[in-house]
Amino acid sequence: MVPCCRSSKPGSFRIACTLLLAGLALMGCQTSRPTDSLGQGMQLSEWRDIPLDESDLDLPLLLPDGVTVTRLERQIRDNFITHNRYLLSGGRGLIFQTRVGSGFYDDSTRDSILSAEDFEAMIGGLLKDRTAGPITPHPLMHQNWKIGHWTIADTGRGPCLFVRAGYRLGNPMDYRNDRSDKWDTTLELMHCAVNVSIAMFSPAISRADMVEDRQAYRTALAASGKLKPAAVARP
């Protein structure tokens, strides 16, 4: 099992990492015999490090100043769903993003992500009795569509931002179920900091898109200074 985060700092960020490790299911860490939300078995590859410039989405370019991806890991589910895990600087957070290679997620996935009750229950289950206040879901929008929810919860040692969202980012496909409300990408984010806000991550959440021109993306990453050596695949 791969650790979800690391931090040498005491206080709220150490607590945040503990919460991440306690909520492995939320952020994509799986046991040796994983099942999905319906209890059905899944075939998962091992997590492997990949270079940051091989990310599916342009998320690294859209993160707020001072927040970078220190490690990017990839896993394949059932040979057609890609899991990407972005570990964020300072051990303060993580993004878990998935994408269907050909097709879409079913309606139950979309309905769960759009449900404020499901979001509140998920975050409540992750935090358990550590939260020092209520969990208030707020709607997320992307290109005028509601795509999920966000909240900032007080862990008792500091605030953490939680996000859960779904997107339609792939090209149109000639399927009978190819409707505008079908999603091919999901995203879950957690970031803990004293001054954390949804505005900080709004560009990453509202403007996220698939990388189509790989060379242009690499050039933009290099120019941005976000292509850190720590985010390059290990041998």
Does residue 5 fall inside a structural domain?
A: no
Listed in order, strand segments (DSSP E) in 12-167 are 48-49, 69-77, 81-88, 93-100, 138-142, 145-154, 159-167
Task: Give the CB-side neighbour count of residue 221, counting CA atoms within 13 A.
Answer: 24
Residue 44's nearest CA partner among 64, 70, 5, 74 is 74
Which amino acid does the sequence have at 144? N
Least confident of 18-32, 62-76, 107-121, 198-212: 18-32
Least confident of 58-67, 143-152, 211-220: 143-152
pLDDT digits (tens, 9 = 90+) for 22-53: 453 344 444 445 555 545 556 888 999 999 99
Does residue 141 fall inside a structural domain?
A: yes
pLDDT digits (tens, 9 = 90+) for 114-152: 999 999 999 888 887 776 678 899 999 876 788 999 999
Please give the residue range of the domain that contains residue 186: 12-30+49-226
User: Looking at the chain, how many residues does it have?
Assistant: 235
User: For the purposes of burial, counting CB atoms within 10 Å of the CB of 17, is it exposed (0-12), middle (13-18) or buried (19 or more)?
Assistant: buried
Does residue 194 fall inside a structural domain?
A: yes
Selected residue with higher pLDDT from 7 and 227: 227
In the DSSP assignment, the letter for residue 19 is H
Mean pLDDT of the chain: 78
Does residue 20 fall inside a structural domain?
A: yes
Percent of all residues in the chain with a pLDDT value above 70, rounded to a whole number: 73
Selected residue with higher pLDDT from 110 and 176: 110
Selected residue with higher pLDDT from 91 and 149: 149
67 within 8 A of 61, measured Cβ to Cβ: no
User: For the purposes of burial, counting CB atoms within 10 Å of the CB of 41, is it exposed (0-12), middle (13-18) or buried (19 or more)?
Assistant: exposed
The pLDDT score that the predictor gives to residue 12 is 41
d(CA 86, CA 98): 11
Helix 116-127 to helix 12-22 angle (10° resolution) is: 110
d(CA 10, CA 8): 7
Which pTM value belongs to this model? 0.79
Give the total number of structural domains in the chain: 1
- pLDDT beyond 70 at 211: yes
21 within 8 A of 3, measured Cβ to Cβ: yes
The pLDDT score that the predictor gives to residue 175 is 52
Does residue 232 fall inside a structural domain?
A: no
- pLDDT beyond 80 at 94: yes
The pLDDT score that the predictor gives to residue 228 is 62
Does residue 144 fall inside a structural domain?
A: yes
- pLDDT beyond 90 at 57: yes
d(CA 77, CA 63): 26
The pLDDT score that the predictor gives to residue 234 is 44
Label residue 18 by pLDDT band (50, 70, 90).
very low
Does residue 217 fall inside a structural domain?
A: yes
The pLDDT score that the predictor gives to residue 174 is 52
The pLDDT score that the predictor gives to residue 142 is 73
Does residue 4 fall inside a structural domain?
A: no
Task: Give the CB-side neighbour count of residue 217, counting CA atoms within 13 A.
Answer: 18
Percent of all residues in the chain with a pLDDT value above 90, rounded to a whole number: 47
